[in-house]
Structure 1
Amino acid sequence: MYVVVGLPRSVHKTAVEGIQDRLKHHIVKGIPAASTDGNLYPQKLVDSLIRSIGEFAVRRRKTDKAHPTPASITLLYVPAPDEEKLLSTFDFALMATPLASLEAYGPSGRQLRHDKEAVEAALVDAVARSSDGSQNLNEVERRIGYMSDNESLLLPPKNFFVEDGNLTSVFKQFRRGQRAWTDRLEELGPTPLTRDNVPNRVKPNQTRRVFVDIRDVAFFIAHPTAFDGAKREVPDATDHAELLSILRSLYRFGGAVAPGLHHDAQRNDGKPLNGTSFDCSEKGQICTDSDYANIYPNDYVRVGSYKALK
């Protein structure tokens, strides 16, 4: 699925229809932006985009929960001074690809996003298999498709803690092009753990290479038979916060996440969590003494018992 934003109404419809004609097996959607050059992404437009993408993804997932549809989501946007409002809203769910050439000004004194030929050329280049955006998405899909303990891109960003906060700051570097999509975050791990470390999680004679945060909390990918989050992922969402939460649970940097995938977070010495705090997307800040907590890609935390923190 491609989502096109930042084009003025005068060229938007023709541009989207042209790309849809080229990509018969893809879904192409979008919302036109203002004609005036400058800020392009007011809250009203962003809200409309949330509802358009979110409701579509929810309807498709309800139809076939076992096979995520669309299989990927790429946001094609014209860079603008207020683009961070757009990008941060969708967090790390979409593959954000700038249509950089359309930000430039042409002989008419207006940005090239008004020029039909320039827009068509930029979109054709962006959706080509050889484009940077397509290659970046391919790398993401390859990485998250393994569903591996040692895949950093699958970690829950608000609940994996690094020296200067949580993983959101690191994930933003991917989104902003400051880290290559091949960067495996080796400075953060993974750490080899054996049965001697975590006897209730690791089998005899087995070593699992998992990411351990600065609190000594290890994040194990749950076994696929425990991927039981599909019902929770697809409620009858009615507001923007719900829709965004669903998108974050279904997609990571544009690639579809396996239904119900989550991490089992527990101490790397096998002891109970003993008051460890988590940031749940629904419950807010909580702490727990349980042996482990289930944490989903959208930072939803499911745990046996917990205490809400003010």
Structure 2
Amino acid sequence: MRKIRTIILILLGFGILTGAGLALLGYLRSGNAGLLVESIPSSSVYIAGEQVGRTPYEANLDPGEVVVKLIPDATDRALAPFETKVTLSSGIKTNIRREFGETEETSVGEIVSFEKIGGKEVSISVVTTPNSAQISVDGTVRGFAPYKTTSITPGEHSLVISSQGYIDRTITVKATIGYRLTIVVKLKPSEEAEPPEEIEGEAVEKKVMVEILSTPTGFLRVREAASTAAKELTQVKPGQRFPFVEEDTENNWFKIEYLPAQAGEEGKEGWVTGQYAKKVEVEPTKAASPSATLTPTKKPTPTPTLVPSVTP
């Protein structure tokens, strides 16, 4: 009987140690960074110059900056390889999707990644090639690339990236509290698109601006958020026009770039109420705002720099 009890205790102890070891292993692995690479057609995947597999390729890697290169399989036509540098973060999965064309110009794809920012903020940033592509979120035009917003709810969203002469691209992503979701998108030129005829005196493309309307006070406050309770950043005057960044359609506010980017500094952005502002389209040559004298109540805080669907 004593012998049986001893054997049971040994087995029980072994089981506890095994369970603890597995738990520790899982804990250590949780510090890894995820990478998912997909391509059409299939391709060989190289990381840091070493072939690690073929698409679809998925792995847990050490966090840090890596160079990923994709060499497409041979077809009846030569396809352009793809190489990019990405920063892998602990506990976060980064997606690379690529559809190869004969040249870089005719290739298409996106890189989707998360960056932990903490707090309760939800953030999305979109960078596109070509630049200034239109960004629609859940069927509503929200602005133009490079686009960034914190006025978005957690959960799944459908993004449509479009630009004249290029094929629209739809991406489904999941925004998460405490993370900045960054999407770097490369659009494919439309084969059916014809170069627009240049007509003297007629602009090929127009820029969306926000025009400040007449107010009872003779000025309009620019605020840090889309709310009259938000911190005042500066004041703008009726008749001035500023680049449109995004729109809060639910509360009728516009986000504008009230101070252009300077050497070594980003432009400054803020919100104005739609009660005393409207969107207008202007010729590129007329896009500059009239000479504006800003009167900040306090020194504005510089907009933080953004760095580039998966759930963290």
For the criterion TM > 0.5, the same-fold answer is: no
Measured against the shorter chain, the TM-score band is: 0.3 to 0.5
Tell me: higher relative CO, structure 1 or 2? Use CA pairs within 8 A at least 6 residues apart.
1
More strand per residue: 1 or 2? 2
TM-score by length of 2: 0.32
TM-score by length of 1: 0.32
More helix per residue: 1 or 2? 1
